[in-house]
Amino acid sequence: MNILSIPIEEPERLFPNDLGEAQAKWRDLIRTWHPDRCPDSNAAAVTQRVNELYEAVMVKIAKGTWSLPNQVRFAYGDKTIEFNFLRKHLVGEATVYVGHKAMLYNYRDLPWWDTFTFASSTMQDEMGKYLPDIKYGPIVLNDGSSLLVLKKTEDQYLLKDLIARIDDPRQIAWIISSILNINCFLQYNGLCHNAITENALLCSPEHHSVALAGDWFFACKHGQKLSALPTDIYRRYATLVHGKIATQRIDRFQVRHLCGMLLDKVPIEIVPTPMREWANDIPRDGAIDEYKHWTTKVLIDSFGPRKFTPWNILRKDVYG
């Protein structure tokens, strides 16, 4: 093992997750590499790195955050949550861990919106599939951050992880259709999500469904003062948030921007002109009008009558 190549952020690659065992390992390494005993020209540098990694692992053991590659631990009180993840993303103020059947959000100082109104039990049963399914949390961890654990199914992928597998505009079409449907529900609730991006959406290629699962700490009521907004979205739509007042138009603009970004991932010669023009145009005044125009005009002009097109994808294709 090349000790000098181990990043300070990954002391687990050298030290075990036990205070006594880590101390014993540190003593053995110092005895081996101390310049007074070791003739190797790198002895001093290795000794310094061993000390740095030892200090780093002591902090992680104390906080309960020691982890192996693709594993993370969180400590709260005298308890520890251990999670094996497929992919890790830094998203604004949060770190997102995507697993087989769960997705973890570790974040600071932001409330998570979890209050929704449904017109009927039927609406609740239907729309509940497209909203965050909270397994437990938020939990305040020992380091002062918060942890939220969301349920997901194995056929769901974070859109950010799925983008590289998109090769057909029809795949993008059902993704956008699902998001626009969710936007209608947001309008019914008088809500602005404010962060409809590839980082917040769970997609199931098997079932052609999308859940707006993430980044609900940016959500607020339409017309209220914005408490937070992702930096790139604020810069893109600064003229829409004059006075930092939330408006549902931001969500509709974000969906069109997302559509354009996804279309850029497929060969330009197979992108239907109506879809590209829609992505580049200004949204309609309401979410329902936006959805109707998309489904009755843009999709028909792009692909003709509605037809289910399978998108067969395996988890190993996305996560290796």
Tens of pLDDT, residues 175-200: 999 999 999 999 999 999 999 999 99
Same domain? 133 vs 192 = no
Among candidate residues 105, 125, 151, the one where a domain is terminated: 151
Tell how strand 134-140 and strand 94-98 pair up.
Answer: unpaired
Residue labelled with tokens 């039990």: 121
Residue 276 shares a structural domain with residue 244: yes
User: Based on the domain organization, do 219 and 309 belong to the same domain?
Assistant: yes
Return the pLDDT at 1: 64
Tell me the C-alpha distance between 52 and 46, whole Å: 10
Task: Please report the pLDDT score of residue 190 as a whole number.
Answer: 95
Which residues in the chain land under pLDDT 50?
Answer: none
Cα–Cα distances in angstroms (integers) from residue 308 to residues 153, 207, 208, 269, 296, in the given order: 21, 10, 9, 22, 16
Domain boundary among 128, 151, 174: 151
Residues 236 and 277 in one domain: yes
**Contact predicate 312/205, CB 8 Å:** yes
Q: Are residues 95 and 242 in the same domain?
A: no
Residue 60: the pLDDT is 87
Burial (CB < 10 A; 0-12, 13-18, 19+), residue 294, is buried
Q: At which of 133, 151, 169 does a domain end? A: 151
Q: Are residues 264 and 186 in the same domain?
A: yes
**Residue 47, CA atoms < 13 Å, CB-side half-sphere:** 16
Statement to judge: residues 281 and 132 lie in one domain: no
Tens digits of residue pLDDT in 83-103:
989 999 988 778 999 999 999
Is the same domain home to 145 and 161?
A: no
How many domains does the chain fold into? Answer: 3
Q: Please tell me whether residues 52 and 95 are part of one structural domain.
A: no
CB 185 within 8 A of CB 127: yes
CA distance 12 to 211: 35
Residue 42 and residue 99 in one domain? no
Beta strands 102-107 and 134-140 are: unpaired
Same domain, 55 and 81: no
Q: How far apart are CA 244 and CA 73, in angstroms?
A: 37
The residue range of the domain holding 122 is: 71-151
Strand (E) or helix (H) holding 61: helix 43-63
Could you tell me the CATH number of the domain that includes residue 181?
1.10.510.10
Q: What is the pTM of this model?
A: 0.79
Of 132, 202, 170, nearest to 310 by C-alpha is: 170
Query: pLDDT tens, 234-250?
Result: 788 777 777 788 889 99
HSE on the CB side for 196, CA within 13 Å? 29
Cα 216 → chain centroid: 11
**Residue 203: how many CA atoms within 13 Å on its side-chain side?**
28
At 272 the pLDDT is 96
98 and 8 together in one domain: no
Strands (DSSP E) found in the chain: 71-76, 79-84, 87-91, 94-98, 102-107, 134-140, 146-151, 157-158, 191-192, 201-204, 209-212, 220-221
Rg (C-alpha) for the chain, rounded Å, is 24
Residue reference for tokens 């879809």: 275
